[in-house]
């Protein structure tokens, strides 16, 4: 099964939003992980597929 990056982004955002509503202390970690992933994909686009 292949999930495109276009479909994956809203799914990740939805999961992150729900987790932040449930546990607001996770906000720092979720934002940090998101920025790290986006930065790595920007530097190494071949990792995205």
Give the pLDDT confidence score for residue 2 in this predicted structure.
Answer: 61
Give the pLDDT confidence score for residue 3 in this predicted structure.
Answer: 59
Tens of pLDDT, residue by residue over 4-40, are: 656 777 888 888 888 889 988 888 888 888 888 888 8
What is the DSSP-derived secondary structure letter of residue 9? H
Give the pLDDT confidence score for residue 35 in this predicted structure.
Answer: 86
Q: Which two tokens stand for residue 36?
A: 């790290």
Would you list the domain boundaries of the chain? 5-45
Q: How confident is the model at residue 46 (pLDDT cuts 50, 70, 90)?
A: confident
Give the pLDDT confidence score for residue 6 in this predicted structure.
Answer: 65
> In degrees, to the nearest 5, what angle opens at C-alpha 37 toward C-alphas 32 and 46?
165
């Amino acid at each position: 099964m292949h999930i495109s990056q276009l479909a994956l982004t809203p799914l990740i955002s939805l999961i992150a939003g729900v987790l932040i509503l449930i546990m607001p202390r996770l906000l720092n970690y979720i934002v940090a992980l998101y920025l790290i992933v986006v930065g790595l994909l920007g530097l190494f686009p071949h990792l995205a597929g």
